[in-house]
Amino acid sequence: MKVVAIVGSTRNESYNLKLTKYIQEKYKERLDIEILNIRDLPHYDQDIELDPPESVTKLKRKIAKADAVLWVTPEYNYSIPGVLKNAIDWLSRVEKVMFGKPSWIMGATMGTLGTVRAQQHLRDILFCPGVGSPLLPGNEVYIGAVHEKIDGAGNLTHEPTIKFLDTVVDSFIKWFNQQQPFNNR
């Protein structure tokens, strides 16, 4: 299954990026995960949405070809980072490539609540008519104190989180396979 991952942090040393790379490597026999770049996207602008810059077209093309989207995001000021909202705004217009595209969400933060408020917002956004992405129910991945759970080499070292991710990946694959009729619309 081809999955594209969109990371809500553009910082080089991002824990969310490290988490995504860890998942990409650990589950590579079961999921083909490609991490997409949203750093180069311009601000969403309705005046150019019919003829957008190449970075937007490329992002949309990759999502259109993928089977599913994995969102991995930090929390910024109780919500998702602006850079992530900006990417979704582009995706919600003209060719609505998220429509019917299965999604699942994870998030990590150095604080204790592990992006719970940001993910609540993200779920609402994915439900919007322009986005319309069916979301893996349950299996909410909130990784708090992430700086204590990922080592210098980018490996997840926190055993309960490692085990939980195993169950979430299983759940996602099972759920995805049940979505096929919707997915093939």
- Binding footprint of ligand FMN on the chain (CB under 6 A): 9, 11, 14-16, 74-78, 109-111, 113
Give the nearest distance from C-beta 181 to ligand FMN in angstroms: 35
| Residue nearer to ligand FMN on the CB measure, 75 or 175 | 75
Compute the distance between CA of residue 12 and CA of residue 46 in angstroms, rounded to an integer.
Answer: 30
CB of 72 to ligand FMN, least distance (A): 8
**97 vs 108, beta carbon nearer ligand FMN:** 108
Q: At closest approach, how far in Å is the CB of 79 from ligand FMN?
A: 7
Q: How far is the CB of 18 from ligand FMN (least distance, A)?
A: 8
Q: How far is the CB of 168 from ligand FMN (least distance, A)?
A: 18
